[in-house]
Structure 1
Amino acid sequence: MPEWKIALLSTVGLLSLLVIVGLLTLPHYRLTQVAKYLRATLEDPERELKVPRTLRGVGSELSAVRARLLLQQSELKREAQRQQELIAFLAHDLKTPLTSVLGYLELLWDEPGLTEEQRVKYTGIALNKARRLEELVGEFFDINTMELALTKRESVQLSFLLEQLADEFYPLFASRSLTCQPEVEPDLVVEGDGDRLARVFDNVLRNAVSYSAPGGPVLLSARREGKSAVVTIANDGLEIPEKELTNIFQKFYRLDAARSTRTGGAGLGLAIAKEIVELHGGDIRAESTGERTAFVITLPLQAGK
């Protein structure tokens, strides 16, 4: 549950408790003063009111009400700011591929003298840009609709899942002349949503491919450590400064400050991965030393496995 909702529920609960206590212990004229103070606080929580001497017995409770209202107000402002940023980033990230799609379609429509080879080329580019648009819209949808609960819990053969993903990524690795030799311990089983977990490793692998130096290795390893499975995905490329290692899991964060479309994403892949991992009671972190960057994902193993 969002913090601002928790704050609101706490405030309502405290107000109810205060009223009950007041009805039992305060004379009528003091209850009137309490009601007046609470009304003024609700209308303008930022205005600090001096508690009358006659209300000193409940002064701390009244101050707590004001503090919770201020917290609620701050969270509401933060949520509104987040929604504004979402709209701004959505417009920015969709504009470039959409402009390309429209440009090439207009070219195909307006230039009847294009050769068949040119038509095939421009149609292919427009199709790729349209697919990128679909991916971006999907990322925005996922980050805004993801429930803070797992609706599906099943045994997930993590070892098999990782081996399968490595095979599926072979064409993408080959396109960048990358090599990947999985080192996966067998029989690693976790509990949760297999589709969502596949999304985690898919996102992190795509990130590794995007930022790998051409021709380099991509490491994919998984091992058992106590009651947890530890998956490491690493690649060689530019070092990530230490101060940036936690930022890369924030929504819309991109290492390239200009937010270029080189990687084709909206800066949501790692944020989505973090959400899913934490839903499964796990942890994800990034490490970067020299030219090697690694993402380490820890998930609790299924009991008895």
Structure 2
Amino acid sequence: MNKDYTKKFQHEIIKIHILITASCFVFILCLYFYMDYFYNGAFINFLQEFFGWDFAHFALRNQRTIIFMIIMMVILLNSIIVEIYAIQKISRVFSQIQILFQKDDQRIVLDESLYELENDLNALKRESIENEKKAIDEVQHKVDMIAYLAHDIKTPLASVIGYLCLLDETPHLPEDLRHQYTHITLEKAYRLERLINEFFDIAKLNQTYSPLHLENIHLLYLLEQMKEEFYPLTSQKDQKIDIQVPENLIVCVDAQKMARVFNNILKNAFHYSYEHTIIHIQAYQDESYTHVVFENQGDTIPPDKIQNIFKQFYRLDESRNSSTGGSGLGLSIAKTIVEQHHGFIKVKSENQKTSFDVMLPRHEL
């Protein structure tokens, strides 16, 4: 926070100083103009009555010294009064700051001169409570997801074992049945693989926050490597990946983590693209960022869903039994990694085209 919270408070202290100083000045003027009456008359009589003639005679002989001491005492009193006032204000701030750590709806209340600080502290408290609730919800959601996955794994695993037992125990099984059982077993094995991959996504969530190991890499080579890895998947839906990236384009990133970003975005594009379509990957640079844009053709994502697309465990298809999507962590992990690189990731979906723009700061080692 770069705000000057004490500006109004300082002005208030200065006003008090000026007020007390003005009062002291008036007092000294009165003392000066009415010297004979106040000092030589009433003041000396007062000293004589309470402290004796000797002390009164001393004060009468050392008039300038006594007046100087009175002025210094007034100045000292001025400082003491202002300091006490400031200390009381500051003590109230410290006492109210304790409320910042209380997990309730009690507001922090400070003096009017510290109004901006009061507002920001209350906003910080609200944000802290919301983040804590969000963290608890995420942990609970993670536990629920693991429980769901553990339960769901049992079904395809039981089917795989059952059909394999049939194939093993029935050597003279008709060819059409053997082919049917093999196909079912393969489908169940694919389902089992997807569920296990979701477990890995949840495990990777904790690894996302590890330190970066930056290096200069050729973006085109990294994307070409990923294109080859995705060939078995894209061939299932007769999809293709088209890469339009300059060969000499260098990015300074953690190669393994950035590969995970591109992998998660490509998985999302594969699952939600139409059959017989092309997934386009383009890259270009502006003054500050390198843009890597992934575009696929599929159903337009509604605005209410696109706002939540980077949230943990959020899935466009909310059915856990759907063959599309995974644990709902892929895009959340991608966003976290990109932000670790001090970059941004944006999504746009319209006219049956969805694009993800990964923006990475331009710099090299």
Is the pair's TM-score, using the shorter chain for normalization, greater than 0.5?
yes
| CA spacing shift, 1:188–1:78, aligned 2, 3 Å | same
Match of 1:189 among 250, 259, 267: 250
Task: Please tell me whether residue 180 in structure 1 is matched to residue 241 in structure 2.
Answer: yes
Match of 2:142 in 1: 86
Are positions 1:113 and 2:174 aligned together? Answer: no
Q: Secondary structure at the match of 2:309?
A: helix
Point out the structure with the larger helix share: 2
Q: Is the contact made by 2:138 and 2:312 (CA closer than 8 Å) also made in structure 1?
A: no
1:225 and 2:286 aligned: yes
1:249-270 residue CA offsets vs partner (Å, 9 max, x unmatched): 1111112233443225111111
TM-score by length of 2: 0.63
Cα gap change, 1:58/1:64 in structure 2, threshold over 3 Å: closer, same or farther?
Answer: farther
Gaps of 5+ in 2: 1-82
Alignment of 1:144-223 (within 5 A): 144-147=206-209, 150-223=211-284
1:103: Cα distance to partner?
Answer: 3.0
Describe the shift of the 1:260–1:130 C-alpha distance in structure 2 as closer, same or farther (beyond 3 A): closer
Kept in 2, the 8 Å contact 1:152–1:192? The answer is yes
Shift in Å, 1:214 = 0.7
Whole-angstrom distance in 1 between the partners of 2:244 and 2:318? 34
Q: Deviations over 1:268-293 (max 9, x none)?
A: 11111111111112111111121111
The CA deviation at 1:136 is 0.7
What SS does structure 2 have at the residue aligned with 1:169? helix
**Is 1:246 equivalent to 2:302 in the alignment?**
no
Offset of residue 177 of structure 1: 1.0
Q: Is the 8 A contact 2:220 2:249 kept in 1?
A: yes
The alignment partner of 1:88 has SS state of helix
Q: Which amino acid aligns with 2:220?
A: S
Deviations 1:24-65 (A, max 9, x none): 956xxxx8x99998889977744569x8xxx97999899987
Matched residue SS, 1:247 = coil
User: After superposition, where does 1:56-135 map in structure 2 within 5 Å?
Assistant: 71-109=127-165, 112-113=169-170, 115=173, 117=179, 120-121=182-183, 123-135=185-197
In 2, Cα distance between the equivalents of 1:156 and 1:215? 31
- The amino acid of 2:157's aligned partner reads V
**Cα drift, residue 140 of structure 1:** 0.6
Offset of residue 215 of structure 1 = 0.8
Which is worse superposed, 279-288 or 95-104? 95-104
Bigger relative contact order, structure 1 or 2 (CA pairs below 8 A, ≥6 apart)? 1
Q: Give the Cα–Cα distance (whole angstroms) in 2 for the partners of residues 44 and 284 of structure 1.
A: 33
RMSD of Structure 2 on Structure 1 (CA):
3.7
Q: Does the 8 Å contact 1:217/1:236 carry over to 2?
A: yes
Q: Which shows bigger deviation, 121-130 or 66-75?
A: 66-75
Contact preservation (8 Å) 2:163, 2:185: no
Give deviations 1:55-83, integer Å, cap 9, x for gaps. 97999899987876665444333321221
Change in 2 beyond 3 A, CA 1:294/1:72: closer
The 1:212/1:64 distance shift into structure 2, 3 A limit, reads closer
Q: Which amino acid aligns with 2:204?
A: D
Shift of 1:176: 0.7
Identical columns (%): 27
> Relative to structure 1, is the Cα distance of residues 113 and 243 closer, same or farther in structure 2, using a 3 angstrom cutoff?
same
List gaps (5 residues or longer) in structure 1.
1-20
Over 3 Å counting, the alpha-carbon distance change for 1:38 and 1:232 in structure 2 is closer
